[in-house]
Every structure is written in structure tokens, then in C-alpha cells.
Structure 1
Amino acid sequence: MYQFKQQLSNPNTNYFIIDSSSSPDHNDVDFKFYSYQNKSNKQLHAGDLIIYRRSGSASEWGNEFYLYGAAEFGETVREDLETGNSLVTIHNPYLFSHRLMKQNLRTFDWTFRTFKGKWSNFFNMNGITQITKKDFEGLLQRQKSLVSDEPNLSPEEEAIAVKCYQAEKMEAYFINDKAKGTPTRNAVNKFFSDKVKFNYHYKSALVADKDEMDLEAVRIVPWEDDNEIRLDPRNGICLTKLLAEAFTQGYFTLTDDGHVFVSTEASVNPEVNIALNKYRNRKIHMNREYSPNKKYLQYHREHIFRK
């Protein structure tokens, strides 16, 4: 929370959860601009800290809301006096390492309001809910605790992670090894890992495993092999760590329709061989929108798979 140190130490800072649709029909641009009704929502001021919420109606995941980032509320850049709509800039954006879903918040100790087991009407209908400083800090700590093996990122890397999020929204998947001298891989992995796991509902595509700590977003085409698709979530599959390593090493591959094809060389690794034998010819979970790109699967079969 280093980027919010100054605001957190300011007793005048207020804290909010705000809904952002980031749709073409709305002026919201995640981590860049926020549009809201200034006439009826006068509690937001420049310097306040916000946490982004995707409401159920705008969610990509079965109408379930989630929290996905934090930032500092900025200055007004456009105001419509007739409608009362204001457009403000967003400063110090921070992408969550793990989206906070309902399942991650059931045991969260809210202080701004008592959670009674139902989410209906828990957040304000106008899309702006004031919370406490303790809630804000606790939510940032909660999302961080769900990714135990993520390296600490520098401010420059955190900024790159946000840019990865924005670029993927525009289906721009290219990124170099460095951006203005800063290595990009850790930042990309922060964005990519959670995006892929989110697409698979934080479950393995192959194993009925609910232990999130045992999940890994594995790349189909390796990082080094193509910088044009590094941000493409359809180049990722969510697997258990053992199967992710086996896939990366080419001990099994997937057909275009997602069936597991095991290499004859898998027998050299007893642990891997035993695990793969359980899933031989089984089909991974295939989501129509987020399923692996067939071109990437073909590349894996031709260049990674141990024939």
C-alpha cells in the first residue's frame, strides 16, 4: 500500500467502494476516468481513496460482483451542468493481485456496516458506498494474502500491471521484455495469472480442486516464444501446479477440443505419470469465450509436446 501512504496518513481522506461498468456506453475507463452524478453524490473529493467494484449486472461471472483494484480519486476534467454528470481523473491506480469475489469476502470483518449474510442492499444502489479506513486497508490485505507466491513489485511494475489490464481490454496483447527500462515479466504475470484464474472461476480446468493455493495459470505458448500474445488470456489455462509443470515441460498436450494427450516420455517421471494417467483422454473445461486459442494449442503440440 506504499502508493497510498500519504493519503492513508491524512485524517481528511475518505474511503469508498465505487461501481464501474467500463462499458462502451459509459464514460468510465478503469483506472483512468470515472463518471458519476455529482449532483446527488457530493461526498467524493480529490484525494479520497477508492476500491473498484464490478456490480453483478456488469459482471462477466454469472452476475456475481467482485472487487478488483484501488486508486486515488482525482480532479474533475469535465462537468455537465445540465445533467450533473462529472468526469474525474484517477491517480495512483493499483490492480488487485486477486479479484475479491463473494467467496473471498464472506469472512471479512466489515466495520462500515454489519454484514448479515446477504449481499442484497449491502452496497449503495447509487454505486458509491463509503467505507472506513480499516475496511480499505483490510480489503487490500485480503487480496494480497490470496496470492502467496507473488513477488513484491516496484511502483513502476505496478503501473505496468495496470497498463496490461487496460491493453487486454482493447485486445492489444503485445508487450516487450522491458518498458522504459523496467522489466515487464513480473507485472504481466500479476495481471495474466489472475485474469486466467478468474476466467476459470478459480478452479482447475482439469481437476475438481478447490484449493486456490494449488492453482497456476500456465502459458500455452511460452513467454519467450511470442511477445505478440503475452497479454492474451486465451494463451493461458488454469491447472494445479503439478499439471501446470507437466504441461510446460511437454509431458502432455491438448487437442483442439481440449482432450488430454499424454506423451510416452511421461513415464520417466513417476509422479507426473501417475497424475496424468488419471486424466488421459479426459477433456478440460472449455468456456466458449475464454477457451484456449486453437493456434496456441497447435503451437504447443508442435513445439513443446514431447512426441
Structure 2
Amino acid sequence: MATERWTNDQLKLAFHLYCQLPFGKLHKGNPDIIRLAQAIERTPSAVAMKLVNFASLDPAITSTGRKGLDGASKLDREIWSEFHADWEGLAVECEILRRGIDLGPTADEADEFLLPEDFTGETRQVVTEQRIKQSFFRRAVLSGYHGRCCMSGVAESRLLIASHIVPWSKDKQNRLNPSNGLCLSAIHDRAFDKGLITLSDDFKVIVSDELKRRDEAFVQTVFLPLEGHCIELPERFVPDAAFIARHRAEEFVDNRKAA
């Protein structure tokens, strides 16, 4: 099998994994790479090499001087484009493919897919698909930020949220687009979601007048010092400028009041 050409499904699974691993973990010793390699009957080295081929197509990687490996195929490029055109559909399809070859959720994902016994039939399917999508988005976003809040630096995974820049409900096409995400602590996620903070086009934090008027010690300690500070940018899936502009125009409370 290892000498045969990669199939479309194998490449989808490889790219699905690529999106969820930090660049520094694209190596043959990574347990997730080993599991995928065994499931598709390829060597860990071959899978790692394919992931680094994908990195050569990633502008967020190449713009930093890292080039990945040359040799990305035409089909690699097609898979790249297909995912970027339909993140949501491909995330679900890849999870189905994973389970079809007994490559279920990773250990840290397993609890996310456990459903109460009273969830049956269509309800169970809907909830399961929702969790699949949320899990993919979370892993893709958090891996880009190396599991650290881009505003506070908090690295406790239980306190981190893959926060949508343009809300989930307002842009179906980009619900799972990792470039529509920020890794934030729960408190920063809440403030961003409610439009109490936003970002400038150059990724600097803008604190709302509402927060600036608060005389609470917590607000003055946690939020006010963020004003004008640039967030820590991810190594890939850099926030899309168009999404940031939409958040600032549509969600930021200062601009909503002006409208």
C-alpha cells in the first residue's frame, strides 16, 4: 500500500489531521500520526511527510520562512481547496471516514462524543454532528495558538475557548473556518462575544467605553491593560481581516451604539 498513490479519502484524513496539529508536531513519532498511518496502511514517515507537504501550501507557514516539503501533488492542492470551500462538510465527512476505519476520536476527544441515553434517533445524530464540528474547530484553533489564550497567555486547556470572530449563527459557511477563530480564556471569550472588546485591523485589542467606565478592580486589572496591545498571532490560520472588520462593525458595543 505504501508504494501506491494516495487516495482522495486518505488525503482528506491527512489534511484533517494537519489542521489539528501544531507545525512542530508534524513528525513520525507523534501518536496521532502513528494511529492514522496504521489505519490507512502507510508508514508514520509517509504520513508525516504528507502533512509537511500540506504545510508547503500554507501561507501562514511559508510567510515565516518555513517552507514545509516541496512536492505537494495536484490532488494535495485540490484537497486543500476543497476544505477551504467547505470546512463544515469536510469535517463531518472526515469523522465518518475515521470511524469507518476504526479510527475514532482521540483520547482527549472521547468524552465530547458521549451522549445521554435519552438522546436517540435523529436527535442523537444531530447532537453528534454538532459535537464533531465543534471538536474539529476547537482543535484546529487551539493548535494554531499552541493552546494559549492570545490575549492573556493562559494555557490551562479547561479554561480555553475556540471563540468565533463572526458568530456561529451569522456565517454558516465559515462556522468551522479556523481563520474565523481566536483562542481565548473563558472570560476573554465572553467579553469578545458580547462586544465589550474587539480587534483593530492590525490585531490590537480595543476595549469598549463601557468597560473603561467601570471602576471595578477586576475590570481595571484584567481588561483595561489590554488596550492597544497586539494579540499573540497563531502560527497558522491567522484571523481573517474581513472577519475582524465584521466583528468590529457588527458586534462591538461602541459601534452598535453609534449605529
TM exceeds 0.5?
Answer: yes
Question: For the residues of structure 1 that align with 2:123 and 2:246, how far apart are their CA atoms?
Answer: 27
One-letter identity of the residue aligned with 1:227 = K
- Looking at structure 2, the residues matched to 296 and 287 of structure 1 have their Cα atoms a distance apart, in angstroms, of 16
Deviations 1:58-115 (A, max 9, x none): x75125544448689589xxxxxxxxxxxxx95244243xxxxxxxxxxxxxxxxxxx
Q: Which residue of 2 aligns with 1:293?
A: 240
Q: Assess if the C-alpha contact under 8 Å between 2:161 and 2:184 holds in 1.
A: yes
Matched, 1:252 2:214: no
The residue that corresponds to 2:75 in the other structure is: none
Contact 1:220/1:235 (<8 A) preserved: yes
- Is 2:144–2:237's contact at 8 Å kept on the other side of the alignment? yes
Alpha-carbon distance in structure 2 between the residues aligned to 1:292 and 1:33: 24
Whose radius of gyration is greater, 1 or 2?
1
Provide the rounded CA distance (Å) in 2 between the counterparts of 1:214 and 1:222. Answer: 20
SS in 1 for 2:23: coil
CA contact (8 A) 1:216 1:238 kept: yes
CA contact (8 A) 2:144 2:236 kept: no
Of the three residues 110, 122, 126, the one matched with 1:182 is 126
Distance 1:217 1:246 in 2: 14
Report if the CA contact (8 A) 1:27-1:33 is conserved: no
- State the alpha-carbon separation in 2 of the partners of residues 60 and 26 from structure 1: 23
The within-5 A match list for 1:97-136 is none
Q: Which runs of 5+ in 1 are unaligned?
A: 1-19, 35-51, 76-88, 97-139, 158-177
Quote how far apart the aligned CAs of 1:281 are. Answer: 0.7
Q: TM-score, normalised by structure 1?
A: 0.49
Aligned pair 1:61/2:39, yes or no? no
Identity, in percent, stands at 23
Report the equivalent of 1:194. 139
Higher strand share: 1
- Between the aligned partners of 2:13 and 2:248, the Cα distance in structure 1 is 42
User: Any conservation in 1 of the 2:22–2:146 contact (CA below 8 Å)?
Assistant: no
8 Å contact from structure 2 (residues 22, 143) kept in 1: no
| Selected match of 1:276 from 217, 223, 229 | 223
Deviations 1:224-259 (A, max 9, x none): 101011110000000111101110010000012110
Structure 2 counterpart SS, 1:216: strand
**Is the partner of 2:182 in helix, strand or coil?**
strand
The answer to whether the 8 Å contact 1:32/1:91 transfers is: no
Equivalent-residue separation in structure 1 for 2:13 and 2:125 (angstroms): 27
**Quick one: distance in 2 between partners of 1:207 and 1:181?**
37
Deviations 1:102-142 (A, max 9, x none): xxxxxxxxxxxxxxxxxxxxxxxxxxxxxxxxxxxxxx3xx
* Structure whose residues are more often helix by fraction: 2
Q: Which has the higher contact order (CA 8 A, sep 6+)?
A: 2
Report the AA paired with residue 176 of structure 2.
Answer: L
User: Quick one: distance in 2 between partners of 1:189 and 1:199?
Assistant: 16
Deviations 1:158-181 (A, max 9, x none): xxxxxxxxxxxxxxxxxxxx9997
Q: Pick closer, same or farther for the CA change 1:250–1:68 going to 2, 3 Å.
A: farther
**CA separation of 1:91 and 1:288: change in aligned 2, threshold 3 A:** closer
Shift of 1:288: 6.1
Unaligned runs of 5+ in 2: 42-97, 255-259
CA shift, 1:268, in A, is 5.1
